[in-house]
Amino acid sequence: MILYGVRRLALAVPLLLGMSVLIFALMRLVPGDPAVTVLGYKATPEGVAALRKAFHLDEPVAEQYLRWLGAAVRGDLGHDFRQNDPIGQMVLDRLPVTLELTALAALCTALIGVPLGLLAGGRRGGGADRAALAVGLIGVSIPDFWLGIMLILGLSLGLGLLPSGGWVPFAESPVENLVHLTLPSLTLAVSRAAVLGRLTRAAVLDTMHRSFVHYARAKGLGERAILFRHVLPNAAIPILTVLGLQVGYMLGGAIVVEMIFTLPGLGRLTLDAVVERNYPVVQSAVLVIGAMFMLVNLVTDVLYGALDPRTRPR
């Protein structure tokens, strides 16, 4: 298993390299000049030229990429164009917010999606199945930004139950931290939970027709015992696969959610940097998010072996 993990990490290197080339090229296609954006109304041809030289934007694109990549390999993500702050420290300051939001959203996704799928799969064709399918369809159809706004209007501004935004560090107040992350986590989790619920239902229905399930029924086991002791463990692999993918998608979806709820996370940092044409910040933030996505996939593959010894690499 350790050797398998090392091989997977080695395969991640060319993927990250390709991702770095792609994001570097895409940022250069965005209209606008970072030097003009930084100078604003004070921009003059001389000032723009001087700032472009300071940012190394007057160099060929290939040379700019190699300069940035060489520094990133050494652990230096550079400095942002606005305040000249070290990007590595900026990412480290914002990363805990995004990680905590993603972790809570993943927990909500599992707590909503898996029971929903079990309820639908265990009672196929019944009222509970139809209701779960309807809830899942509605959940998949709702965009994150619309749901976030509706939750703010209903639970925050309407009923005053939860704050509409802001951030309190966990070390400062764990309770306030969780209270402020409740609405963002639900916003990020609902559509993913709907996808997970539909997949769980399909996996449960597929497993229910296996011979060991019929044997368990013949022994006189109740449906609930069969569902939780026999069906769910055997349906866990596809469920875990989709959950791992959903966690990766949450890292990207956090950009919208962090903007709606004014969370100082990595997603909001990335979006602000795109608006400001702050090339090195966007490149570094996307690279970090991509690396976390790959790490989540690696952890998911390792968990396969823990759940089913037959999937362990030899």
Give percent of the chain with pLDDT exceeding 90.
5
The first and second tokens of residue 211, run together, are: 């011979």
The pLDDT of residue 314 is above 60: no
Burial annotation 230-258 (CB, 10 A radius, 16+ → b, else e): bbbebbbbbbbbbbbbbbbebbebbbbbb
Interatomic CA distance for residues 102 and 218, integer angstroms: 43
**Angle at CA of residue 79, ends 295 and 262, nearest 5°:** 65
pLDDT grade for 90, boundaries at 50, 70 and 90: confident
Tell me: the pLDDT tens digits for 35-87?
777 777 677 777 778 878 887 877 888 888 888 888 888 877 878 877 778 88
Interatomic CA distance for residues 54 and 187, integer angstroms: 41
Tell me: the pLDDT tens digits for 7-38?
767 777 788 888 888 888 888 887 777 777 77
Backbone angles phi, psi at 103, to 5 degrees: -65, -45
pLDDT grade for 165, boundaries at 50, 70 and 90: confident
The CATH architecture assigned to 94-260 reads Orthogonal Bundle (1.10)
